[in-house]
Structure 1
Amino acid sequence: MKKLTYILAITSLVSFAQQTPAPKQTKSILIYGGIAHLGNGKIQEQALISIQDGKIASISDGKLAKPAKHDLMIDASGKHIYPGFIAPNSTLGLVEIDAVRASDDESEVGTFNPHIRSIIAYNTESKITETARPNGVLLAQITPRGGRISGTSSIVQLDAWNWEDALVKENDGIHMRWPNSYSRSGWWAEPGGIEPNKKYDEQVKEIQDFFTNSFAYLSAKPAIKDIPYEAMKGIQEGTKTLYIQANGQKEITDAILFKKKNNIQKLVIVGGYYAFKVADLIKENNVSVLLRRVHDLPNSEDEDVNLPYKNAKLLVDKGILVGLENAGDMERMQTRNLPFYAGTCAAWGLSKEQALQLITSNTAKILGIDANYGTLEAGKSATLFISEGDALDMKSNLLIHAFIDGREISLESHQTELYQRYKKKYEQN
């Protein structure tokens, strides 16, 4: 019986594999007549976008120029064109089914694991990944979990045969969970009180000792290699970003002081729920924030119930570079809602184009891929999509074309297959 159950489980995983990756672009493409949201806060009405060899060859005003002849002409009149959305701090492709242990590769045992590379466990044929693409999420930062230092992330595009094909930027940064200065007792239905973490100073010292020892090791260049310490080289040299998960005011402050003490050049706060309380310190130290899931409840019962929705504006108004991330319960399945998080930020203070930047150009800058992604500009990757309506509004977000590096990708998924199947059933009645 166990053997049969195992076979059925494997069959169910294989039978609905991800759509076949699109072939390399060979024909020139011209998109004309659409409203182009450039991702940098600007809009181009009646845009002409020429795509050649996987790049945006040009983008111009259709009112001033006539469309040149291309192999494929796409009329986007009345429709909206966007750069591909980017999902940072994501575990897409690392876990398929939470209850099936063999499909869970998001974490490793141990406390300090900077050498763990999430990319080699990334599954390009995940069914969950293909559910994010129909809402415009075309890029993701694949990030490990667990331990104090979880490991090293990499950035991928979401239409590939294997992880090597998917790579956009390999080993971009190391992810660390800062200790909490307080802990909550009880559970969500009956929360208890808030208690101080008596081991907070000890846990911070453990982090400092690891960094001190690793930097000393790298400076000494010993003959015997220590793999975890070797992985810290990029942080010491400033070629990698240190992503620190911290939400509390004290935790964020201590993380920034840690940055200064250890001369860490690139630091991003992940989560950042109370970052607005120390916004000046964050801005002064050139730290970016990947803001935690917007569709959430406030941390405290006496807080503004709308604080999670307003958080992005509070930081943007202070001049901080802000992106949106989606870690938490059911985070892989919720990736498809990333554009609607941005839409909520627009409903609570930001303009639509500012909100769009939270999941395009801002995130691209934070991840260090803005030279090729994040905005619609000549010379950049043709990773973009066309939507019937406003892509930040779940009522009108309806993709009709999507491209990754100029390759038109499939927008089909297991859900769309079921939709078509049962649509025919009701048409027969």
Structure 2
Amino acid sequence: MKNPIYGFVLALVTFFMGTAQQTPAPKQQEAISIDGVTAHLGNGKVIENALIMFEDGKLTFVGNAMTKIARRGTVIKGKGRHVYPGFIAPNKSLGLVEVDAVRATSDQDEIGEMIPHVRSLIAYNAESQVVESMRPNGILIGQITPQGGRISGTSSIVQFDAWNWEDAAVKVDDGIHLNWPNTFRKGRWWMGEPRGYQPNKKYAEQLKEVETFLQHAAAYNKSGSTQLNPAFAAMKGLYDGSQKLYIKADGEKEIIDGITMAKENGIEQVVLVGGYHAFKVTDFLKKHNIPVLVQRTHSLPTFDDEDYDLPYKLPKLLTDAGLLVGLQNGDAANFQTRNLPFYAGQVVAQGMDKEQALQLITGNNAQILGMQDSYGTLEVGKSATLFIADGDALDMKGNQITKAFIDGRDISLETHQTELWKRYKGKYGPK
């Protein structure tokens, strides 16, 4: 009798082989000049009538189009159009999960609680249909982050147009991710507990486990031991400053406890992820120079006594307090990552300047991830990772992207969705 599981797996493999991503673009061959465009630089500045030129994957000129300078290579007329730096999506498991219901396509969560040595990069699927669907909304770079456990592993930063993870890598093993324990947890109603939030009686015990691991890792890397401990060895970058510790915490006490423990154990580069109640401890965060990757704005308040629009205005509250703030949506499904620019647009509705909101997903995210020397803003010498839109890229109706470039390569904006749209658009109407 034919094995039904074998048949299912074969059908799944055939499906993915038949719907593979668009072929990655070749290396830039000639110079490109975009003339007369409105350039949003990603650092808060705008050039209304701009000329942007790039060659060999690098920006060679960003300035006023009235400047007397020869246009080089292919000239793209940009009048009425807008140019933006490629958007950056931090803290996502993109390329690690393809189909949630099929375990064989999910590599985001490994067995174990303290597993900093698990590297997300080597499991990254550059041909993921979910990944390619980011590009038409201007999201060209992402921090591929493992999930689960207490210390879930090591992230890496990739660009979204590659054959494999080696080609995709922009910054390898950039940071380690720590899911901080919660002081409260939701009541398990199916076990007879009251609904709503209940105190976490194991909080102190869980803190001790984290502290012990950090202390042992620090001692191991300081001692120069020849006996290999992969988990402790993977933490070395936190103590020599080459990696960042991303602490995922939302509550006021959790934020203070997590950052205090990291600092006490010699970890200098710390990033707060989530930070739902970060607005209550802004002085503490400023004192320790902690940037915040804020949760998605399209969500509801957690507690009944909070402002109904707290998630919407949280990025502005933190920015106004003088913190370095970026946007992420690690708590949302992978396909929702394409909404990242609209989260920034939501903050504009809360009173933030539009160019400042743009920084939340460009220049600020690049700075927080430690890649500001090459990405995040349109500046001479940086990577030509950018896109051209016919309208406002932070608006759902205006986000109409016509061209996109990664390191100067003219990438495809085709996805599985656009292919289906073209296939079926005439089925129920006039051809």
- Equivalent residue number for residue 209 of structure 2: 206
Map 1:120-199 to 2 at 5 A.
120-186=122-188, 192-199=195-202
Q: Name the Cα RMSD after superposition.
A: 1.5
Q: Is structure 2 residue 271 aligned with structure 1 residue 268?
A: yes
Q: Is structure 2 residue 56 aligned with structure 1 residue 58?
A: no
1:381 to 366, 380, 383: 383
Q: What is the CA–CA distance in structure 2 between the aligned matches of 1:91 and 1:302, rounded to whole Å?
A: 32
- Equivalent residue number for residue 364 of structure 1: 366
1:344 to 346, 362, 366: 346
Q: Is structure 2 residue 282 aligned with structure 1 residue 279?
A: yes
CA change 1:323–1:256 in 2 (3 A) is: same
Judge conservation of contact 1:84–1:384 (CA < 8 Å) in 2: yes
- Measured after TM superposition, the shift of residue 128 of structure 1 is 0.4
Q: List, as ranges, runs of 4+ consecutive aligned residues in structure 1 with deviation greater than 6 Å.
A: none
- Measured after TM superposition, the shift of residue 130 of structure 1 is 0.9
1:41 to 34, 41, 44: 44
Q: What is the CA–CA distance in structure 2 between the aligned matches of 1:191 and 1:11, rounded to whole Å?
A: 48
Number of aligned residues: 426
Q: Which amino acid aligns with 2:314?
A: N
Residue-by-residue CA offset, 1:14-66 (whole Å, 9 max, x unaligned): 21111100000011100011100000000011110011000001111013x24
Map 1:238-317 to 2 at 5 A.
238-317=241-320
Q: What is the CA–CA distance in structure 1 between the aligned matches of 2:408 and 2:189, rounded to whole Å?
A: 48
Judge conservation of contact 1:364–1:374 (CA < 8 Å) in 2: yes
Q: Which amino acid aligns with 1:247?
A: D
- Equivalent residue number for residue 355 of structure 1: 357
Residue-by-residue CA offset, 1:128-161 (whole Å, 9 max, x unaligned): 0111100000000000011110010000000001
- Measured after TM superposition, the shift of residue 195 of structure 1 is 1.3
Judge conservation of contact 2:42–2:358 (CA < 8 Å) in 1: yes
- Measured after TM superposition, the shift of residue 301 of structure 1 is 1.6
- Measured after TM superposition, the shift of residue 7 of structure 1 is 1.9
- Equivalent residue number for residue 7 of structure 1: 10
- Measured after TM superposition, the shift of residue 240 of structure 1 is 0.5
- Measured after TM superposition, the shift of residue 2 of structure 1 is 3.4
1:107 to 103, 106, 109: 109
Residue-by-residue CA offset, 1:361-417 (whole Å, 9 max, x unaligned): 000000000000000000000000000000000011000000000001000111111
- Secondary structure of 2:167 counterpart: helix
Q: What is the CA–CA distance in structure 1 between the aligned matches of 2:380 and 2:189, rounded to whole Å?
A: 52
Q: What is the CA–CA distance in structure 2 between the aligned matches of 1:208 and 1:66, rounded to whole Å?
A: 61
Percent of aligned pairs with the same residue? Answer: 56
- Equivalent residue number for residue 234 of structure 2: 231
Judge conservation of contact 1:48–1:67 (CA < 8 Å) in 2: no
Q: What is the CA–CA distance in structure 2 between the aligned matches of 1:159 and 1:244, rounded to whole Å?
A: 29
Q: Which amino acid aligns with 1:424?
A: G
- Equivalent residue number for residue 422 of structure 1: 424
Residue-by-residue CA offset, 1:79-111 (whole Å, 9 max, x unaligned): 110000000001000000011111000011111
- Secondary structure of 1:207 counterpart: helix
What is the TM-score with the length of structure 2 in the denominator? 0.96
- Measured after TM superposition, the shift of residue 186 of structure 1 is 4.7
Judge conservation of contact 2:218–2:265 (CA < 8 Å) in 1: no
Q: What is the CA–CA distance in structure 1 between the aligned matches of 2:221 and 2:398, rounded to whole Å?
A: 53
Judge conservation of contact 2:39–2:82 (CA < 8 Å) in 1: yes
1:217 to 207, 220, 239: 220
- Secondary structure of 1:235 counterpart: helix
- Measured after TM superposition, the shift of residue 286 of structure 1 is 0.3
- Equivalent residue number for residue 397 of structure 1: 399
Q: What is the CA–CA distance in structure 2 between the aligned matches of 1:284 and 1:349, rounded to whole Å?
A: 26
Judge conservation of contact 1:38–1:377 (CA < 8 Å) in 2: yes
Q: Which amino acid aligns with 1:262?
A: N
- Measured after TM superposition, the shift of residue 326 of structure 1 is 0.9
Q: What is the CA–CA distance in structure 2 between the aligned matches of 1:329 and 1:257, rounded to whole Å?
A: 28
Q: Which amino acid aligns with 1:201?
A: A
Q: Which amino acid aligns with 2:276?
A: Y
- Secondary structure of 1:192 counterpart: coil
- Secondary structure of 2:242 counterpart: coil
